[in-house]
Amino acid sequence: MDLFDQYSQIYYRRFKIQIIAVEDVILDAWAGATLRNNMLYAAEQIRIQKTHRSLREQIDTFPLENNHPLYKELRDGFPKGYILTDFSHTDVNDSVIFIHKDEIFSFSLLLIGRFDEYRYYFFEAIREMCERGIGKPLTPFRLLDIKENPASPVSLSDYIQQETKEKHSEITIQFHTPVILSRLKGKKNTQLSYQDKANRFPGFYQLTCSAFSRLQKLYALYIDPSACSPSLFDEMLMETYLEKAGLPLLQSANIQHISLTNTHKKGMKNEMPLAGYVGEQKYSGYFQQYMPLLRFMAELGVGNETVYGMGRYEVKESFTNRIDENQRMEVENEIKILGGLIRHEETDLYKQNQPKMLKLSQLIVRFLYSI
């Protein structure tokens, strides 16, 4: 996979964090929004010795030079180098969370590429956040544990296997947290029309396109900001890679569009909901060239609001009984050679060739069931 050789360096570290409430408390918004906003407030108080910036300033520092191919696209807003996800007390059907005194609340912090350098500053920001308090009423938490899980960085190269022959398979894509692949710009009314929802339906092509685009951006921002090679960011590269992504057939879909409660923003009368699709889809086709990308990005999320833990999905693959093209040619050749025998069941020729006839019968069965 020459394409992924260019991006194989991209990696992240996952840290599982456990905190304990010192009193009963309510989180009246999506947990990712509550934690993210409180952690960023604490990050303003944490100073980084190397850069002389606060952690919050470091998070918001745009690392690309103005000659970078992605500079214009990302300068007004870019994916951040951390993600909050895997919340222990969440239900996409209920944004309000009740946490009792002495109850453990856990979540994961993912740091992408160079942001791993600031992990101890993130830990300090989390400790500061706990001491200040979270939720309503503002309630302190006690930091119980921070553990890296898995115990080593996860990279795209971990998902890239030796190139194998394409096999027909079926996959199930489960959207665990709302997936929204595009934001409606300039739309004052936050209510989505039927057409809005249809335009943002996360089909296989759209999902793969979003995953690849996010992979490119994260590589540019947090792995090698100095890399400006057109071969890494040329639009034709993406189009060539996605050429077959429109071929898989949708077999079934059981998804719904939902909105989660966001935290209130200063100066805004209305909260901007965290909206997207949850549920599952099933596809059939040939997916081998896209599976490393989809499985790696399943952890980092796709679409918008990934920093809140949105855009998380899971891919499960099962191979069908279809035969590949070489096997099909084998069947057709055997039928041509031995086809005449099947019309002479009572002849000596048929009886003398019973082993071949048995093989022919088996091949025909495989052939018929593969169509």
In this prediction the pTM is 0.81
Q: Are residues 131 and 229 in the same domain?
A: no
Structural domain boundaries enclosing 198: 164-319
Co-location of 148 and 104 in the same domain: yes
Q: Residue 156 class from Cβ within 10 Å (0-12 exposed, 13-18 middle, 19+ buried)? A: buried
136 and 193 both lie in a single domain: no
SS3 sequence, 172-183? EEEEEEEECCCC
Contact (Cβ atoms closer than 8 angstroms) between residue 181 and residue 297: no
Looking at 101, 133, 155, the residue that finishes a domain is 155
Evaluate if residue 68 carries a pLDDT over 80: yes
Residues 274 and 351 in one domain: no
Q: Evaluate whether 209 touches 217 at the Cβ level (below 8 Å).
A: no
Q: Token pair of 166, please?
A: 């394409």
Whether residue 337 is found in the same domain as residue 190 = no
Q: Is the dihedral of CA 182, 187, 190, 191 positive or negative?
A: negative
Per-residue pLDDT at 1: 47
The torsion angles phi and psi of 134, rounded to 5 degrees, stand at -135, 150
Domain at 223, CATH number: 3.30.70.1900
User: If pLDDT is split at 50, 70 and 90, which confidence band does 354 have?
Assistant: low
Mark whether 184 and 94 lie in a shared domain. Answer: no
Q: 303 is written with which tokens?
A: 């679409």
Q: How far apart are CA 349 and CA 347, in angstroms?
A: 5
Does one domain contain both 27 and 147? yes
Judge if 249 and 131 occupy the same domain: no
More confident position, 67 or 361: 67
CA distances from 357 to 4, 54, 140 (A): 47, 78, 78
Please determine, for residue 110, whether its predicted confidence score (pLDDT) is greater than 90.
yes
Lowest mean pLDDT among 64-68, 212-216, 353-357: 353-357
Number of domains observed in the structure of the chain: 3
Q: Predicted confidence band at 348 (pLDDT cuts at 50, 70, 90)?
A: low
pLDDT tens, 204-235? 999 999 999 999 999 999 999 998 877 777 77
Domain annotation covers residue 1: no
Sorted by sequence, the CB contacts under 8 Å of residue 18 that are 6+ apart come out as: 104, 105, 106, 143, 144, 145, 146
Gap between the Cα atoms of 356 and 350, Å rounded = 9
Could you say which of 155, 174, 194 is where a domain stops? 155
Flag whether 3 is in a domain: no
